[in-house]
Amino acid sequence: MPAGVDRVAVVTGGSGGIGRAVCERLAQDGTAVVVAYSGSADRAEDLVGRLTAAGARALAARADVAEPDQVAGVLDAAERAFGGVDVVVHTAGVMRLAPLVELDLEELDALHRTNVRGTFVVSQLAARRVRPGGAIVNFSSSVVRLSLPTYSAYAASKGAVDAITRILALELRGRDVTVNAVAPGPTATPLFLDGKPEEVIERMAEQSPLERLGRPEDVAEVVSFLAGPARWVNGQVLYVNGGLA
């Protein structure tokens, strides 16, 4: 079932970075969009204003992705406003970088809470709500395969996302709902850029055969494919990194 005016998407982490680009692309596809955010209400409402001004249907809703009641509230809002949920895109995540021997375990717990528990909660509730012909799209990372120093905790959390995604796809047999994950490489977002020296960013950009960082729009294009026309792609982790890995 292709994306279109009758489809409704919930995008977690939708107020910034890749999530914002995903919301914009799905709106361009004709999909009603719920911008789910946890931090900045101003950014979320600004995005909703821009989308609606362009003729799209959109609303903002707040949720901590690790809290089932709050995630259920976002899905409820989507159903009340637009009649149902066809697509759930889970972009929300956090990154903590440090050598394994130095990482504070409280930082590890915080990472696990958002990236693993959050993915589990969103996937669980999405699986209960998404209508036939719909799609669940989680977010992994290319660092699962790259095995970069200081990324052990983050890569481990995204490895868990891969497992959740593949198994849920099998468990939804007979539902006509696809479950996939997108694994971006280095992408020019605050999550990637913040705290990195310019020389590190330039070196990582040069590693791709395309010799640049990814753009949020590059990733959103793949999400659009998985959210709409890609009905025969299921249980997969798609690496979106310009050929880096």
Mean pLDDT of the chain: 94
183-215 burial, b at 16+ Cβ within 10 Å, e below that, comes to bbbbbbbeebeeeeeeeeeeebbebbeeeebbe
75 Cβ neighbours under 8 A, 6+ residues apart: 10, 85, 125, 126, 129
Is 90 exceeded by the pLDDT of residue 232?
yes
Which of the following is catalytic: 37, 151, 154, 239?
154
DSSP per-residue letters across 103-140: --HHHHHHHHIIIIIHHHHHHHHHHHHPPTT-EEEEE-
Question: 154 catalytic, yes or no?
Answer: yes
pLDDT higher than 70, residue 83 = yes
Q: What number of other Cβ atoms are within 10 A of residue 245's Cβ?
A: 15
- Distance, in Å, from the CA atom of 53 to the CA atom of 58, rounded to the nearest integer, reads 10
Going from N- to C-terminal start, the domains of the chain cover 8-186+221-240
**Domain 8-186+221-240: CATH architecture, name and number where available:** 3-Layer(aba) Sandwich (3.40)
**The two three-digit tokens of residue 9, written as one number:** 């998407």
* Residue 208 DSSP class: S
* Higher pLDDT among residues 6 and 192, named by residue: 6
pLDDT at 112 over 70: yes
Tens of pLDDT, residue by residue over 142-169, are 999 998 999 999 999 999 999 999 999 9
Helix 17-28 to helix 216-227 angle (10° resolution) is: 50
pLDDT in tens, 27-69: 999 999 999 999 889 999 999 999 999 999 999 999 999 999 9
